[in-house]
Structures are given as structure tokens and as C-alpha cells.
């Protein structure tokens, strides 16, 4: 049995740096602006959940631990 996991983004901690977007090997993270000064690039969300391979790279490389991997 495979353990499917998906990233959960904590936007209270996220600093909208886009590192998670850039490191995702299957480009399934997108960003959307919340219209605040804090998010020049927009906040990340899992845009293509079906494409996520549960690798955890986004959580590993987030500099402020704003990404948690949760069971899908």
C-alpha cells in the first residue's frame, strides 16, 4: 500500500517566496494573490493534486516550515 501524502500550506507562516513552487518536480503548486502587501508573488496552493507524487520536496525546502505533509 502506498502512502499518499499531500502538502498543506500554512499561509500564516508562509512568506510567499515561491521556493516550493520552484522545487516541485511535477509543477503542481501554483500561487494566488490574497491582495496584501506581504504576498508580492502570491501564496502557494496545490493546483494539480492528482499530479503530486508525495515526494515532500516542497515541505523539505520551505525555509519557514510552512508546509506540512498530510495523508491524502
Q: Which residues contact 22 (CB under 8 A, 6 or more apart)?
A: none
Contacts to ligand SF4 from residues 28-47, by CB under 6 A: 28-29, 44, 46
Shortest Å distance, C-beta 48 to ligand SF4: 9
Shortest Å distance, C-beta 1 to ligand SF4: 18
- Under 8 Å between Cβ of 9 and 66: yes
Q: What Cα–Cα distance (Å) separates residue 56 from each residue in 25, 31, 51?
A: 10, 18, 13
* The only residue of 30, 39, 47, 57 in contact with ligand SF4, by rule CB under 6 A: 57
Q: Is residue 55 part of the contact set for ligand SF4 (CB under 6 A)? A: yes
Amino acid at each position: 500500500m502506498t502512502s499518499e501524502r499531500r502538502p498543506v500550506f500554512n499561509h500564516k507562516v508562509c512568506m510567499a517566496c515561491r521556493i516550493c513552487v520552484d522545487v516541485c518536480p511535477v509543477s503542481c503548486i501554483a500561487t494566488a494573490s490574497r491582495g496584501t502587501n506581504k504576498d508580492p508573488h502570491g501564496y502557494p496552493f496545490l493546483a494539480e493534486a492528482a499530479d503530486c507524487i508525495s515526494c515532500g520536496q516542497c515541505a523539505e525546502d520551505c525555509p519557514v516550515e510552512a508546509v506540512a505533509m498530510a495523508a491524502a
